[in-house]
């Protein structure tokens, strides 16, 4: 059963006298009419002060920079998410990116359809139908089709993960019956779709007997860990992000890496992995496994890191592009040759923006970066 959150009068009173949230918000810097504080103020007025009709309800990235700094612990992204549910009911919908194809894919997965999600894995490594470890691939097969025009194959993330796990002696479960985790539906205010996806995934994973579910996607990890228990009850398995699992297990797993040429890298903290889940150091520990890799941090990193600019495949705008270009410029200023991230959406969004500034910077995911350095047999 879902747990609703409501602001206390003390929180509201303090909020009206503050403004740290608006000053911290990357959207407010680009869209000057957008103010988290004013939206909270609107919500206290009669009929929500028009908030439910406002298109700015959908502009928030839910990146949690505001909540990270709020002196009275207001969870603004969650506050806004709950209002989005109400907004949909009165006909206020977001502008969907990529012609809504990814929202459509999620919606179709709520039905009893037959999928071919594991074809990529058959030529890559060994996996099972049942076992202790379940690798939740997420939407990578859909991203792989949608974003080919960027010269990008998001399924390479999954390929690298499977090879790394096999090298560690792990043959994970990979399932054709898996569905989208529902993250985007939830943050678009579409509870009906989210609930169906969550219930389906829980049933699918339970049937495999898995004790641990591993995620390469921060959004899937955060959704299972934070929201699934509120909607479908306590989970009968452990939820781990792949970077925390690899940082813990890989150094003692007997896996050999080969030295490559020296590389200067910088790291993009995904919002759902960093500010929302508190996982900052495991990805960095993985990069430090290689003596030839020099990690140089961007000026804004960890809890101060800048979002990649778009959330839940909606409201992709000039604000998004400006944020992405700003982040790429910050990466370039470190002198890095490679920008590494642990989120497929960060990689997609930053790759998209990279084409507009024509700079020599490689944008890659951390699993591909690790897998490239595996000692060849």
Is 82 in the same domain as 110?
A: no
- Within a domain: 3: no
Q: Token pair 């009929």 is at which residue?
A: 47
Contact 243, 286 (CB under 8 A): yes
Structure tokens at 228: 């699934």
For residues 127 and 231, membership in a common domain is answered with: yes
In this structure, are 120 and 243 located in the same domain? yes
pLDDT in the model for residue 1 = 30
The boundaries of the domain holding residue 196 are 98-249
| pLDDT block averages, 10 residues each, the chain of length 377 | 55 76 87 86 76 89 90 87 91 87 88 90 96 97 92 95 97 96 94 96 97 98 96 96 97 88 94 96 96 95 92 81 92 96 96 88 96 86
Asked whether residue 2 is assigned to any structural domain, the reply reads: no
Round to the nearest angstrom and report the end-to-end CA distance of the chain.
50
User: Is the same domain home to 264 and 328?
Assistant: yes
3-class state of residue 113 by DSSP: coil
How many domains are contained in the chain? Answer: 3
pLDDT of residue 3: 39
Say yes or no: 239 and 296 in one domain. no
Q: Give the domain CATH number at 332.
A: 3.40.50
Q: Would residue 72 count as lying in a domain? A: yes
Q: Tell me, yes or no, whether 47 lies in a domain.
A: yes
Contact 63, 271 (CB under 8 A): yes
Dist. CA 136–CA 157, nearest whole Å: 12
What separation in angstroms does the CA of 279 have from each of 28, 159, 242, 250? Answer: 26, 23, 11, 17
Residue 346 within a domain:
yes
Tell me, yes or no, whether 270 and 311 share the same domain. Answer: yes
Q: Are residues 160 and 273 in the same domain?
A: no
SS3 61: coil
Same domain, 198 and 278: no
Q: Which of 249, 284, 306 is the last residue of a domain?
A: 249
Both 244 and 264 in one domain: the answer is no
Pair (225, 151) in one structural domain = yes
């Amino acid at each position: 059963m879902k747990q609703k959150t409501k602001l206390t009068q003390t929180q509201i009173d303090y909020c009206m006298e503050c403004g740290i949230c608006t000053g911290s918000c990357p959207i407010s810097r680009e869209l000057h009419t957008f103010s988290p504080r004013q939206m909270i103020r609107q919500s206290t007025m009669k009929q929500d002060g028009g908030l439910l009709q406002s298109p700015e309800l959908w502009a928030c990235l839910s990146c949690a920079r505001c909540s990270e700094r709020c002196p009275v612990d207001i969870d603004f992204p969650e506050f806004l998410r709950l209002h989005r549910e109400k907004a949909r009911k009165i006909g206020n919908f977001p502008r969907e990116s990529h012609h809504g194809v990814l929202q459509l894919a999620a919606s179709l997965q709520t039905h009893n359809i037959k999928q071919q999600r594991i074809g990529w894995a058959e030529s890559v490594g060994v996996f099972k139908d049942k076992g202790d470890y379940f690798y939740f691939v997420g939407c990578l097969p859909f991203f792989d089709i949608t974003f080919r025009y960027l010269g990008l194959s998001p399924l390479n993330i999954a390929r690298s993960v499977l090879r790394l796990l096999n090298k560690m002696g792990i043959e994970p479960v990979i399932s054709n019956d898996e569905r989208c985790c529902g993250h985007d539906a939830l943050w678009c205010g579409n509870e009906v779709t989210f609930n169906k996806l969550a219930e389906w995934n829980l049933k699918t994973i339970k049937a495999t007997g898995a004790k641990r579910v591993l995620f390469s996607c921060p959004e899937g990890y955060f959704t299972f860990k934070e929201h699934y228990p509120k909607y479908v009850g306590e989970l009968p398995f452990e939820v781990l992000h792949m970077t925390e699992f690899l940082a813990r297990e890989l150094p003692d797993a007997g896996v050999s890496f080969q030295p490559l040429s020296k590389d200067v890298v910088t790291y993009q903290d995904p919002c759902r992995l960093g500010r929302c889940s508190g996982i900052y150091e495991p990805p960095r520990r993985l990069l430090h496994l290689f003596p030839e890799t020099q990690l140089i941090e961007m000026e804004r990193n960890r809890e101060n890191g800048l979002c990649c600019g778009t959330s839940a495949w909606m409201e992709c705008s000039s604000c998004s592009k400006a944020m992405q270009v700003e982040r790429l410029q910050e990466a370039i200023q470190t002198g890095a040759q490679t920008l590494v991230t642990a989120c497929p959406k960060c990689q997609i969004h930053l790759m998209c923006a990279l084409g507009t500034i024509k700079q020599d910077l490689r944008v890659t995911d951390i699993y591909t970066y690790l897998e490239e350095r595996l000692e060849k047999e």
